[in-house]
């Protein structure tokens, strides 16, 4: 199973996703600043993987501390958490993981653990977050696969696969689980502009697993739906509000509108750590605005006249009313209103 992030004896080893699919390179991140930079420039990406990286970044700060004062080390880990919190505003898993690490740090401090014990305790928490995400993805896959007919053709947007998680994936986890269950499954992958995560990453993953995948331009989705080629849409999520509104990669909302127009089920696959019950609706979800050059000069190629104004939101919000079901590791929420179902399944 592909896992894009691991702890490597005092550093964090990741697959450099900006180079895919032309080069598969693994790199070691030795400092918190390197981890933060990797998250910002999307070498590490996907809400669950970002959460794992943030947790490991806190552990890394503890291992990097070379002094002998407990409170100094605690301050360095706290500063690291603050740096990492400033990298991506939309993916709530980032803040969920950092909160877990801060809670663990406070408990270790209260127990008056020595520096060595605090390092090991923080690393154990980070590893637990990573292992939990793997378990969540496998469970999401099992629950989601049961929703799909056989045979089935699904469409997906962006990359919600192993590369976006600790391994296996959320939306692609459902696809993998369906295939493992013996279902005849075919996938249409949106290219996902402007950074082409679907073209570069989703197709790469699925081809490695010998899953039938066809790449299409984002603006071809309506056409293939009208032709009757699609039976279901499956996407991931970066944050889900209390009412079920869901933020995901820009273009997801358009796909949901098209799915509703054509009577196609629209599924969101995400772990419970992506649900943010503190936000009553998607209107409250912060939407990251990214650099204009991602649109005007992707990978160094000029696509637009110099000086043109650019709006480049990284995410959009799909209203709960357009979502057929939300697939979590705890089960499937499919009865409207989704918000009530989410709170029931999360025990809130």
Domains and CATH numbers, the chain: 5-138 (1.20.120.420), 148-345 (3.40.50.10470)
- For the residues 78-84, what does the mean pLDDT come to? 98
Band (347; pLDDT cuts 50, 70, 90): confident
Torsion angles phi and psi, residue 305, rounded to 5:
-65, 145
Edge-to-edge strand ranges of the sheet holding 265-269: 212-216, 185-190, 152-156, 232-235, 265-269, 325-328, 331-333
- For the residues 336-343, what does the mean pLDDT come to? 88
> Within its chain, how far is the Cα of 23 from the centroid?
22
Considering the candidates 133, 190, 238, 245, report the single residue annotated as catalytic: 238
| pTM, 2 dp | 0.96
- Predicted confidence (pLDDT) per residue in 285-319, tens digit: 999 999 999 999 998 899 999 999 999 999 999 99
pLDDT for 245 equals: 98
Q: Is 326 helix (H, G, I), strand (E, B) or coil?
A: strand
Percent of the chain with pLDDT over 70: 100
Catalytic residue flag (residue 238) = yes
Cα 127 to Cα 130: distance, rounded to the nearest angstrom: 5
- Predicted confidence (pLDDT) per residue in 194-223, tens digit: 999 999 999 999 999 999 999 999 999 999
Asked if residue 348 has pLDDT above 70, the reply is: no
């Amino acid at each position: 199973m592909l896992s894009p992030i691991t702890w490597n004896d005092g550093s964090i080893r990741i697959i450099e996703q900006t180079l895919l699919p032309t080069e598969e390179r693994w790199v070691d991140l030795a400092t918190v600043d390197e981890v933060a930079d990797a998250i910002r420039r999307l070498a590490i990406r996907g809400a669950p993987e970002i959460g794992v990286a943030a947790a490991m970044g806190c552990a890394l700060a503890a291992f990097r501390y070379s002094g002998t004062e407990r409170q100094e080390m605690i301050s360095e880990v706290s500063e690291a958490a603050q740096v990492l919190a400033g990298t991506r505003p939309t993916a709530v898993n980032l803040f969920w993981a950092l909160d877990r690490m801060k809670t663990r740090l406070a408990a270790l401090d209260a127990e008056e653990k020595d520096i060595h014990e605090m390092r090991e305790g923080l690393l154990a928490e980070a590893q637990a977050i990573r292992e939990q995400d793997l378990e969540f993805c496998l469970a999401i896959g099992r629950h989601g696969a049961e929703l799909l007919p056989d045979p089935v053709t699904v469409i997906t947007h962006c990359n919600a696969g192993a590369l976006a998680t600790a391994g296996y994936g959320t939306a692609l986890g459902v696809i993998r689980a369906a295939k493992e269950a013996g279902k005849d499954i075919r996938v249409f992958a949106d290219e996902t502009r402007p950074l082409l995560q679907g073209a570069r990453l989703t197709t790469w993953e699925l081809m490695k697993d010998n899953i039938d995948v066809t790449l299409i331009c984002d603006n071809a989705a309506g056409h293939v739906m009208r032709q009757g080629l699609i039976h279901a849409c499956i996407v991931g999520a970066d944050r889900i509000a209390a009412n079920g509104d869901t933020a995901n990669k820009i273009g997801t909302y358009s796909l949901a509108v098209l799915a509703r127009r054509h009577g196609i089920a629209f599924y969101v696959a995400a772990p419970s750590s992506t649900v943010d019950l503190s936000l009553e609706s998607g209107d409250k979800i912060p939407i990251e605005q990214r650099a204009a050059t991602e649109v005007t000069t992707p990978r160094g190629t000029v696509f637009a006249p110099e000086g043109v104004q650019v709006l480049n939101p990284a995410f959009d919000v799909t209203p709960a009313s357009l979502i057929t079901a939300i697939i979590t590791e705890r089960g499937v929420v499919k009865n409207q209103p989704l918000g009530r179902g989410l709170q029931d399944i999360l025990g809130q």
